[in-house]
Every structure is written in C-alpha cells, then in structure tokens.
Chain A
Amino acid sequence: MTLVIDYPVIISLIGAILIGLTSGIISCYSVLKEQSLLGDAIAHAALPGLCIAFLLTLNKSPMVLLMGAMSAGLIGTLFITAIIQKSILKEDTALGVILSVFFGFGTLLLTMIQKIPTARQSGLEEYLFGNAASILKSDITIMSILAILIVGSTLLFWKEFKCLIFDPDFFQTQGFSPRKANFILIILTVISIIIGLQSVGVILMSAMIIAPATAARLWQKKLGAMMILSIIFATTSGIAGVLLSSAVYRLPTGPTIVTVISLIVIISLIFSPQGLLRQWIRKKINQRAIRLDSILSNLYTLAKTHDDLTHPHDINTFNVLGEIPPLYLLQKLESDGFIYNHKNNEWGLTNVGISKAIQVLQRVH
C-alpha cells in the first residue's frame, strides 16, 4: 500500500469533494421525502443514456455523456411517475421495472459498443463501478458548475423545499406550486446523481443518496445542521475512497466509498444520541429499576401479614410472587438503605424502605 498524492489524485480528490457536497445535500431531501430508492432507479436508468450519447456522437467528452445520462435519468423518472399515476401498479413496482429494464437495455448497448473497434477504449464500463482516476480536469469544470447550481438552488429555495417536504398541502395554500418545486428538486436530484456516476458508479450511487442523510439525521435535529453533517459524511467517505483506491492496487473507488459511508451509518446507528446503544442502556436501566421496585413491593406484601413491617423474610419464599432476586440487587438495595440483611437469606425492609415500597405500590395501582 503506497499513497502518492500526485496531480491525478488531486483531481480525483476535488471530484470526490464535489460529489460529497452535492450528494450530501440531495441525500437530505431524498431521505426526508422517503423517496430515496428513486435515486437508485435514476442512477441505473442513466446507463442507456450514457451509451446512446456515446453511440450517437462516438465522443467521450464529459459534456456529451452527462447530457445523455441526464436525459435518460429524467425520462426514467417521468416513466416512474407515469406508471404510479396512470396505472394500478405501486411505487415499488414502478421503480423495479424502470430500474431493471433501463439498466438491462444499457448493458445491451454496452456490449454493442464494446464490439465497435474504435470504441473499445471508450471506458464506459468505468461507469458501472466508478473509477475516480478516470476523472479529468475538464470533468472537474463541468462538475463544479453543476455543484454550484445545486448549492445555489438549495440556498435560494431553502424555505420552499423545507415546506414542500414537511407539509405539501400547506405549501400549496401559501400560494406556491408544489409541482414546480417538486420538479426543481427532481432535476437537482438527477444532476447530483449524474455528477457521482463517474467516481461511484451506476450500481452503487444510490448509497450516496441514502446513507449520508440517514447517518446525519441520527445526530442532528435541524435541517440545516443535518445537511452540513450529511455533506461532511459524504465528503469524508469520498476522500477516503479516492485515497484508499489510489493506494491499494485494483481497489475500485465506488465500492470503497460505499463501504466507508456505510460504516459511518453503522457507527451513527449505534452511538448517536438516538442510537441503539443509548436505547439499550436506557432499557437496561429501566428494567433494573423495575426489578428493584418489585423486590421492595414483594417484601412489603410479605411483611404486611406481620405487625412489624420490617419483619425479615427468606428471599426463597419470593418464588410464589415472581423471581427470586439475585444477591447483587439485594446488596444494591441494602447499600441504598432500603433493606437490611437479617441472617443468611433473610432480608427485611428498613423504615425508609417501607415508605419507598408504599410509593411503588401506589404508582402501580
């Protein structure tokens, strides 16, 4: 593993940052709209567009390929919308059909292109899994322009997009057109996916539309902060992917980027403020509290049959009331001053314990 930061690597890195920026933004909107699988479909649908653009012009200039991919992505989206609106088929089926059929058609075209002698080196296969090293300076120029378009539109339409996603009906009663706002958002989504295809690839681009915002949402509670974090996550994984794949022989860029961003999601899932770890600990603490309470209330129930409420009982008699409490819980209660150890297995409530037990019983009933 040798890492050389030379000119081509710097170009790839700039590309990765641009992709991180745009997909970090669009990811937030896609995830919040619960339409993130649309990104998967758009990315796959772009493949035949790339091929047709190449077949028509026999030209591999980034502008031509981008236009082709973009038109195909848009046509795919239009088809999906038409299928959902005009037929009985549901969203998932529409996505599945368009994704697979467009991609299948794309692979058919791809095999045909490979048979054209002059086109053998077209490098279109790079688009399947992405290769950051194939990004050239001219690509960077176009990517930058598109990235500025996305960032600019997001800033301009900040409140519109937010309101559109949160409450589209209300958005309409405020005199806005949800259709127009939606259309702008779809165009931006297509653009951001197309920007990423060269580095991340058609097949895995969807991860860049889903993962960054999914992770960011677990940490942040405001859209702005969430978006910034989403951009940071996406950019980090882009940079890590480019550096790793240029350092390790044959390591493909796209899958590396996706693995890194997925790790970020997994870490967020576990360790974020709403994460599974905190949820688990809270649950354990609650369970423990409930067990402690039930020991007190059980001791109280047993003691009620005596005049002296502090009368000790053998904890093995608890089996009629439920579980026999383990020693460490009893010791915990003892050190809190709620119970005392009479002898061996016999425990009784202290006066503090009695009032606590009454509280517990009142809370239950």
Chain B
Amino acid sequence: MSPIIEIILIGCLVATTAAIPGCFLILRKMAMMSDAISHSVLLGIVLMFFAIKTLHSPLLIIAATITGLVTVVFTEALISSKKMKKDAAIGFIFPLFFALAIILITQYASNIHLDQDTVILGEIAFAPFNRMVWGSIDYGPIAMWVMGIIGLINALFIGCFYKELKIATFDPALASSLGLAPSRLHYGLMACVCMTCVGAFDSVGTILIVALIVTPPATAYLLTRKLSTMILLSIIIGCLCSVLGTILALAIDGSIAGAMCTVAGTLFLLSFLFSPNHGIIHKFYTQKQQKIQFSAILLTIQFLNHQGEDSFEFSIENLIDHMRWSEPFAQKIISYALAKNYIKRNKKAYELTPYGIEVAKNAMASS
C-alpha cells in the first residue's frame, strides 16, 4: 500500500472510532468531557513512559485510559460536592493534568519523540513509518492496528449495549428503574472515549481528536433524528473528513490533522446552513411561512372573539394598534387570509367567512 492510502485509512479508522462514542456524548450533553479527557490522557502516557521508557506498549494505553477515567471521576466528584458548578469542574481538572504532563515532557523527555508539537498536532504523516513487523513479514503501520483494535472495542461496546445506552441516554430514570445500571454504562462509554483519545493521540493529537469526536456526530444530528442513522452518518462524515482532509493537506502542504478538522468544520457549516430539516435556511423559510399561517389563524380567532363588537376590532388599524403588528405585516396577513378565504371585505373593515369561523373554532379546540 502506498503511504497516502495508509494515511487515509488510518484517518478513516480514527474518525470511525471517534464517531461511535461521540454520538452518545453529544446526545448526553457531554461533548466538552471529550475535551477534558483528551487533554488528561497525556499525563497517563507521560507517567507510564517514564516507568517503562518506551512509547510502544499497550501499557501506555491502559495508563492513559485510567488517567482519563480519573479525570471523569474527579470532575463528577467536584460537581456532586457542590463546591463547583459543572462547567468549572470540567474546566478545572484537565488543564492541571495537561500542564503537569507538558512540564514533565519539557523537563525530562525533551529529546524523545514525545515533544510538545506532536502532542498537540499529532503527526499522522509519520504513522506509516512505524510498522508492525513480525519476523520478516510487514503487517502494515502500527497505528492502523491500534486504531483498528480500539475501534473494534468501541463498536462491540456500543453494539452489545445499544438498547441500554439508548434508554440511559434519553431517559436515565427509566433506565435505572429497569435495573440497567446507567452509571456503569456511563463509565463504559467514558472508557471508550478515553481509549479513543489515547489511540488517536499519536496520529491526530490531543485536541484535534475532539474535533473528530464531536463534529461529525454534531453534523449528523443536524441531518437525522434516528440514532442508528446518526451513528452511520457520522462514520461516513468522519471518513469523508479523512479523505478530503488528506487531499487538502497534500494540496497546500499543511498538517493533515489540521486539514481534517477544517474539512469537518466545513461539512458542519454546510449542514448547519442547508440541512433539509434542521438547517437554518430551511428553518428561516418555514418559520416565516408558519408565522404567516399562524398569524392568519390568530386573526380569525381574534375576529371570532370580538364578534358583535365595535367595527374597529375588525379593521386593519386594530391589527396595527392592538396586535402591535407592523403595517406591512398586517397587510400581508390580511391578504393571506383573504386568499385563504378566511375573511372577506365588509365596507371599511373585514368579517369572517363561515370557513374562517370553522378554522378559528378548530384552532381553539386543538390548543
């Protein structure tokens, strides 16, 4: 395989691995927890590195995962102790862990591979050079194997507990009444996030993994409301980031991880603007339509409630004065209601048609 293909493949693996727990994180309103975890795991990596003096051992992943979980436990303990609010508790622990890790690296490990820039930016471009060689056979880059295994674990965890996670996410009270142990599921999910951050640390770096955990699921959530579709879609979007990101990085000779994030951001922006159901352009248009429809019905109710009163209640001046509508808006609603045959002209004012009366009564009955 050519290195480029390998880079893209590793990128796809990272993106897929990240997207799976990412979907649950954003649904559980815990996206920022991934930011905290991704920073904290560095401390575990550094400490274990000092213990075993190598960067290529599964022990590193275990140590880092434990540090990530410690962060989660500390953060939650701080929240439940009521000494800090949620945001401050999330934001307090990880800078400390990260700062300690950076200090340790600069003081004691400055000559090895573990330098500051790699930590933050990762260097996926070098991933194909670290190869898994057994005897004389080359099994491909190590990063591919690491991410593959972690991805498999994530997929297995979510696959096995899909139903339980779904209930625990949307209705935690129901989940615990069903005996589903939401807190154990929660820590399982957190362990997945931790492992993902550790595994991806080499290739995309500490912070950019957050982009891959949060952004593709967020993009997918703007496009669909079905959980299984959302997971599938975020995997596809993640892989798209990997492919397009690598191409972009090669074209402008920049950081691949940075380019992947840029693509992820662009895709997010596109769906934020143009999503057929939840994009803001669609929303803006339908809301305007809805507002006109709603206001026309409001008009019929208003007329119905004031039937038999002063003819002023039925004039356009009333709409401007009492309803506080602007004149053009009032005109627009009147013409809409006329077109819909809700009202008809009666000298200087308007009156309800029989159909309009029916519309008003229906609207009132259904509210």
Contact = CB atoms under 8 A, between A and B. Distances in A.
Touch A–B, Cβ below 8 Å: yes
Chain A interface helix/strand/loop/mixed: helix
B149 to A, nearest CB: 24
B261 A255 contact: no
A269 B261 contact: no
A66 interface: no
Interface stretch (B92-100, B185-193, B303-311, B322-330): B92-100
A254 B99 contact: yes
Nearest to B284: A86
Given A88-B222, A251-B106, A107 B264 contact: no
B296 interface: no
A96 B98 contact: no
A210 interface: yes
Contact of A96 (B31, B121, B262): B31
Given A101-B261, A255-B100, A92 B272 contact: no
B96 A259 contact: yes
Interface in A73-88: 82-83, 86-88
A218 B255 CA distance: 43
Interface string B270-306: 0010000010100100000000000000000000000
Contacts of A34: 85-88
B34 A36 contact: no
Contacts of B252: 108, 112
B258 A110 contact: yes
B40 interface: no
A262 B81 CA distance: 18
Contacts of B121: 107, 111
Interface residues of B, number: 61
B106 A36 contact: no
B265 A97 contact: yes
B95 to A, nearest CB: 4
B208 A204 contact: no
Contacts of B110: 250
A28 to B, nearest CB: 12
B72 interface: no
A106 B261 CA distance: 10
A206 B91 CA distance: 7
Size band of the interface chain A makes with B: 35 or more
A195 to B, nearest CB: 18
Contacts of A107: 120-121, 208, 255, 257-258, 261
A255 B107 CA distance: 12
Contacts of A258: 95-96, 98-99
A103 B261 contact: yes
Contacts of B29: 90-93
Given A87-B280, A128-B120, A101 B265 contact: yes
Contact of B259 (A97, A108, A275): A108
A37 B87 contact: yes
A203 to B, nearest CB: 7
Nearest to A33: B87
A99 B218 CA distance: 13
B59 interface: no
Given A103-B207, A104-B264, A262 B92 contact: yes
Contact of A104 (B26, B83, B253, B265): B265
A255 to B, nearest CB: 4
Contacts of B83: 218, 269, 274-276
B116 A100 contact: no
Nearest to B102: A255
A35 B87 contact: yes
A293 interface: no
Chain B interface helix/strand/loop/mixed: helix
Nearest to B214: A96
A259 B100 contact: yes
Contacts of B234: none
Contacts of B207: 44, 99-100, 103-104, 203
B222 A87 contact: yes
A204 B120 CA distance: 12
A125 interface: yes
A89 B26 contact: yes
Interface in A190-205: 203-204
B351 interface: no
A223 interface: no
A31 interface: yes
A91 B283 CA distance: 19
B91 A37 contact: yes
Nearest to A31: B88
B84 interface: yes
Nearest to A35: B87
B211 interface: yes
A92 B262 contact: no
A211 B92 contact: yes
Contacts of A93: 26, 29, 31, 214, 218, 221
A39 B215 CA distance: 19
Nearest to B91: A210
A140 B87 CA distance: 31
A222 interface: no
Contacts of A31: 85, 88
B32 A104 contact: no
A103 B260 CA distance: 11
A88 B221 contact: yes
B210 interface: yes
B91 A40 contact: yes
Given A44-B207, A100-B207, A128-B116, A86 B103 contact: no
Contacts of A92: 26, 29-32
A355 B26 CA distance: 60
B92 A210 contact: yes
Given A44-B207, A100-B208, A252-B102, 8 more contacts: A34-B86, A86-B272, A86-B280, A92-B26, A112-B253, A214-B88, A255-B103, A262-B96
20 contacts: A34-B85, A36-B87, A40-B91, A93-B26, A96-B26, A97-B31, A97-B211, A97-B265, A104-B258, A104-B264, A105-B261, A109-B254, A112-B252, A125-B117, A203-B207, A250-B107, A254-B99, A256-B103, A258-B99, A276-B83
Top-8 shortest CB links A-B: A104-B261, A108-B258, A101-B265, A100-B211, A255-B99, A207-B95, A96-B31, A96-B214
